[in-house]
Chain A
């Protein structure tokens, strides 16, 4: 599983993954490669039978993901050599395949959270070939912005032109008044 993910192009690894496992030859090769020794098959079957009546848990990692990131799901529901089809249509990520994992008694699959999915909680389900179903929730969180914003260039900063104009007007009036007063004084002096 990890090998096929690494080969997938980053823009659409899910589809590539699906193609890999739906293609006949590759599917056989992949299942063969990932199939683990069958030593624990009996224990596995016992456990599965105990939970037969309800949905089994689907482990989703990370349980909270941002758009564009990959999410890995695994479950015990499908059994040791099992196979399942995952349904991530709730967030527009389509279907994905779950294949036996190398080391654990689980099947594993992966899908990508689409870029334009809204924040919220989405149900993911898996239908196993053995008829069992597993369900889990994925919370889609958007990345928050980081850092400060660039929302100004300083165009509002400068002298207060209204105040300067008013001051100039007052000064001009004072000058006119001063001249008038001096003239009156001068003419008054002449009159005497």
Chain B
């Protein structure tokens, strides 16, 4: 190899190094669901038929295999303003479910929430915005059964336009909502919205 080509190699390496440093210095934000994952973009390619709802039983663990989520579940109530309480912030791998509402797998809308991050870094639902239609959400229940849901849509809403009825409303099937923060971040106001994954029960193990 000539000195000239060695010189070129070093120049290219220097450029790559500069690009890595420059690009890596920009803020990385949690994944945001694409428009293709919204209900408006049409149903999932494989829309699995809804399974018969199970009797109520508290959830103990939730898994999303595609994004390596595997978390214990805690019971959540309502805050004084009527919003859903959230799991303790210190625990980065802990999701919660609305314990006075529908249990995952039972008929109706089961509500699950978890942090996208805490002060230390990414938390249990950091990757929620990367979920896609047809991905699986599995919930182990106290009765020993595992409720398997398929993702119908992943949508993002501004805090002030949160669609209560769509997210929390009743349904005749066994459905699930998984909610976390997302949709843009400002240092002053924090996260400006919520990411919501919608799913329905397709099987029981």
Binding site for B on A (CB under 8 A): 67, 118-119, 142-175, 177-178, 181, 184-185
Contact = CB atoms under 8 A, between A and B. Distances in A.
Contacts of B185: 154, 157
Interface in B1-31: 3, 6-7, 9-11, 13-14, 16-30
Given A118-B56, A144-B169, A154 B191 contact: yes
B164 A163 contact: no
A72 B97 CA distance: 32
B117 A148 contact: no
B14 A145 contact: no
Contact of B13 (A142, A163, A174, A184): A174
Contacts of A149: 83-84, 86, 113, 179-181, 194
Contact of B168 (A144, A161, A164): A144
A160 B13 contact: no
B98 to A, nearest CB: 6
A3 B116 CA distance: 51
A107 B191 CA distance: 54
Contacts of A167: 16-24
A118 B57 CA distance: 12
A145 B98 contact: yes
Interface in B105-127: 108-109, 111, 113-123, 125-126
B81 A147 contact: yes
Given A167-B20, A167-B21, 17 more contacts: A144-B101, A144-B109, A144-B164, A145-B164, A146-B164, A151-B86, A151-B179, A154-B191, A155-B122, A156-B30, A156-B116, A159-B25, A170-B14, A170-B20, A171-B13, A173-B13, A178-B10
Given A152-B116, A156-B121, A145 B82 contact: yes
The list of the 8 closest CB pairs from A to B, nearest first, reads: A167-B20, A163-B24, A171-B17, A152-B181, A170-B17, A156-B117, A167-B21, A145-B84
Main DSSP-derived SS at the B contact region: mixed
A178 B15 CA distance: 13
Contacts of A166: 20, 24
B89 interface: yes
Contact of A148 (B16, B22, B159, B169): B159
Interface residues of B, number: 67
Contacts of B108: 119
8 contacts: A144-B111, A144-B168, A146-B82, A146-B83, A159-B24, A165-B24, A170-B17, A171-B21
Interface in B69-116: 78, 81-84, 86, 89, 98, 100-102, 108-109, 111, 113-116
B193 interface: yes
B100 to A, nearest CB: 4
B162 interface: yes
A175 B116 CA distance: 39
Nearest to A115: B100
Nearest to B125: A151
Given A148-B162, A151-B114, A154-B187, A170 B16 contact: yes
Contacts of A174: 10-11, 13-14, 17
B3 A185 contact: yes
Nearest to A173: B13
A148 B83 contact: yes
A184 to B, nearest CB: 7
B144 interface: no
B42 interface: no
Contacts of B119: 153, 155
Interface string B26-40: 111110000000000
A144 B27 CA distance: 36
